[in-house]
Amino acid sequence: MTPGTPLPEGSEVRIPVDAKLKEEWRYDPERRLFRSETGKRFSPRESLPKGSRIVYKAPILAEADPDGLSEAERDLRRYIQIILPKGKSAKDFVEEIRDWPCLQEAELGPDVSLPGGVSP
Amino acid sequence: MAKKRSKSRRANSEKKFPQTTRAGFVGAGITEKSLPDYVVAELKYESPVVFTTSRFTAPAAAAPEAAGLNKTLERFDVAKLRSQFGLKSKEIRARIDVASSLTEAPTSAAVMKKGADSSFFQSGFVQVVPKDGRDAKKIAAALERNSAVYEAYVAPRPVPSVPTGSKRGSRNFEPAQGYLYDPPDGIGAAGVWKTAGAKGEKITVCDIEGNWNRKHEDLPRGIKLLGGTVINDIGWKNHGTAVLGEIVSVSDSKGCVGIAHKASAAVHSAVVGGVFNTAGAINNAASKLKAGDVILIELQATGPNQKYVAMQYWPDIFSAIVAATNKGITVVEAAGNGNENFDLPIFSNTGLQKDSGAIVVGAGIPPANYFDIDNSYNLIGVPRSRIWFSNYGKIVNVQAWGYHVTTLGYGDLQGGSQNRWYTLRFSGTSSASPIVTGAVACLQGRSKVKNGGPLTPARIRQILIRTGTPQVKGPGVPLSQHIGPQPNLLKAIRLV
């Protein structure tokens, strides 16, 4: 029995850093910086290699008016991913990212596989 | 489980092996004359009777029982007796001690207390092979009148697939889809299809994983990729195809038939922007579905004990599931194959000990897939007990077949071009969760017809749990390793 089907070797799928914003912070993808409700700013540029991307996990919710969202949706809209460029490992950056003032938590993204396959 | 045994096996096998199911599908209708019929007799737990290749024997106290059986055999021309499970004579003789210590009609729990293992349960099954297969029915009836016999029946024939008139020569594998059949073996899907809406009409099911062969000959046309990018890998492609096949295989004379074959299917890759973003995939899929629809999460990931766990362990995914269920979308989630106990302290305050609203599905042992008869089922354990690899715990709500499910893809059952691949070995919580997903679609389709709208995800889950066929314990897998009951649509449909 194969307990799981992992990603194929040489897969293009990368492991990101998954992070959750502190409640008062938002990410501005156009200016590529974080802003707090109280006017603070944080630029991640210096701590990330060129070609890194930061995206909301649920972009539809990120753009929505939070007043119209459920509690679960308001929670979900705080999650972001920091995607390192090819050749760079998220492992090498996760510690530094954890120290960003705008983040409540940051972890490596899960090691995802399929829960089965064909058994003998 | 301290329940008395029920004699369901014979009734089931007689229902299944005639080649037409309730839904009217014609299965493999061949009779292989070179395979003689034989009888399977199951000795009562408490009967210390054993057998050689030619006769029954017993210690003095039970000698009359053995004599009665031999007298029955003498009336027929019997070629041989043999163990149904290929046990050696030493293993068969070992049943005497346990059987002698039992009182009349013991429960399976009482038998286990006396130290019985799987060999004991298997040792009571004897094949009686007549020289003339036409005697089999009479022998079964005669044996069953004997006080030492719990039940006796003519062994069901393995049902090979055969061409059924398809122009392209594809074959019909429906007889091997035992999970469609009536409980306790299957979920009773075929039994509810005659009820309006219960084939999943007007319900959309969205499978979240990584790749699918949406051009497979037995899938409906127009399955949409709602988002994400597919993972270019044949293993992932087969997996997704197998999952869809269990749920929405087209009902026709070839291949398989899906549990909810009138439902619409959609897919969403969990890979978004080059990385896994399962929460985003759930959220995006939910935004394109409506109340009553179903999302299936066909993924697992490595948890803190370095074992696979369910995806709701991660808080963003937990929130995405809660948000989807709040919209009336039922989320079905594979528990994962880590042999992990979700009730451990390490999972306190994580999604593995909180209710996300999802229906979390464990993997149970099937009785057989009615096709691939190689004794392996008896080796892995007792039907409807937890398969060793399935995760378990309080949040695991229901179980379904986690081993040797017949469906599309992989090509071990039928090869040729990928669009015609079929398997009879799809396994894992991967194979279990689409069965539950199909069941949900059947119930929601029925609710739309009967009630004018869908039930809430919480109500659907409650119905499945309340009406399901209970989990069974097996050697090394006690009921405390909770995976819940197997859905029983025949009962569940009445509560819709």
Tell if the CB–CB gap between A81 and B275 is shorter than 8 Å: yes
**DSSP state letters, A44-104:** -GGGS-TT-EEEESSHHHHHS-GGGS-HHHHHHTTEEEEEPPTT--GGGTHHHHHT-TTEE
Q: Does position B7 have pLDDT exceeding 70, yes or no?
A: no
Supply φ then ψ for residue B197, to 5 degrees: 90, -15
The domains found in chain B, sorted by start residue, are 19-33+159-495 (3.40.50.200), 39-154 (no CATH)
Contact present, B256 and B174 (Cβ < 8 Å): yes
pTM (2 d.p.): 0.75
The torsion angle over the Cα atoms of residues B80, B83, B87 and B93, rounded to 10 degrees, is -80
> Taking CB atoms and an 8 Å cut-off, how many pairs form between chains A and B?
164
Nearest to B308 among A18, A115, A117 (CB): A115
Mean pLDDT confidence for B270-284: 97
CB-based contact A100:A44 (threshold 8 Å): yes
**C-alpha neighbours within 13 Å on the C-beta side of residue B73:** 26
Q: Collect all residues of chain A within an 8 Å Cβ-Cβ radius of residue B430.
A: 114-117
Residue tagged 């990928």 (tokens): B418
Residues of B in contact with A111 (CB under 8 A): 301-302
pLDDT digits (tens, 9 = 90+) for B44-77: 999 999 999 999 999 998 999 999 999 999 999 9
For testing contact with chain A, the best of B288, B297, B300 (most A CBs within 10 A): B300
Indicate if ipTM > 0.90: yes
Q: Does the distance separating the beta carbons of A2 and B274 come in below 8 Å? A: no
Angular region, B54: left φ>0, alpha ψ -120 to 50, beta rest? alpha
Which of A70, A83, A113 shows the shortest C-beta gap to B274? A83
The arrangement of strands across the sheet holding B125-130 comes to B78-83, B125-130, B39-43, B149-154
pLDDT band at residue B163 using 50, 70 and 90 as cut-offs: very low
Instruction: Give the pLDDT band of residue B171 (cuts 50, 70, 90).
Output: confident
B276 touches A at CB < 8 Å = yes
- Read off the pLDDT of each residue in B451-476 and give the average, rounded to a whole number: 97
Q: Is B449's pLDDT higher than 90? A: yes
pLDDT band at B6 (very low <50, low <70, confident <90, very high): very low
Checking if the pLDDT of B369 tops 80, the result is no
Q: Residue B110's pLDDT is what?
A: 77
pLDDT (average), residues B293-319: 97
- Strand B224-227 with B264-269, pairing: parallel
Of the partner residues B231, B320, B402, the one whose CB lies closest to the CB of residue A7 = B231
Nearest CA in chain A to B314: A110
Q: In a 10 Å sphere around its CB, with 0-12 CB exposed, 13-18 middle and 19+ buried, how is residue B68 labelled?
A: middle
Write the secondary structure of B224-253 as one string of H (helix), E (strand) and C (coil): EEEECCCCCCHHHHHHHHHHHHHHHCCCCC
Rounded Cα–Cα distance for residues B407 and B425 (Å): 8
- Please tell me which of the candidates B238, B270, B326 has its beta carbon nearest to residue A112: B270
Domain ranges of chain A: 14-109
The beta-carbon neighbor of A60 closest among B284, B315, B429 is B284
Residue B84's pLDDT is 78
* pLDDT of residue B99 exceeding 80: yes
Interface contact flag, B210 A114, Cβ < 8 Å? yes
Q: Is A13 on the interface with B (CB under 8 A)?
A: yes
- Stretch B175-197: mean pLDDT, rounded? 95
Q: Which residues are CB-contacts of B130 (< 8 A; sequence separation ≥ 6)?
A: B36, B37, B38, B39, B76, B77, B78, B79, B136, B139
A51 and B CB contact within 8 Å: no
How does the average pLDDT of chain B come out, rounded? 88
3-state secondary structure of B360: strand
Q: What's the pLDDT at B375? A: 58
pLDDT of residue B356 exceeding 70, the answer is yes
Read off the pLDDT band of B374 (50, 70, 90): low
CB contact under 8 A, A120 and B209: no
Nearest chain A CA: its distance from B140 CA (Å): 34
Helix (H, G, I), strand (E, B) or coil at B494: helix
Q: Lowest-pLDDT range, B55-69, B146-160, B472-486? A: B146-160
- Which pLDDT value is given to residue B198? 98
- Closest Cβ–Cβ partner in B235, B320, B426 for A76: B320
Please state the φ and ψ torsions of residue B400, each to the nearest 5 degrees. Answer: -155, 180
What are the residue ranges in chain A where pLDDT is below 50? 1
Nearest chain A CA: its distance from B193 CA (Å):
28
A108 touches chain B (CB under 8 A): no
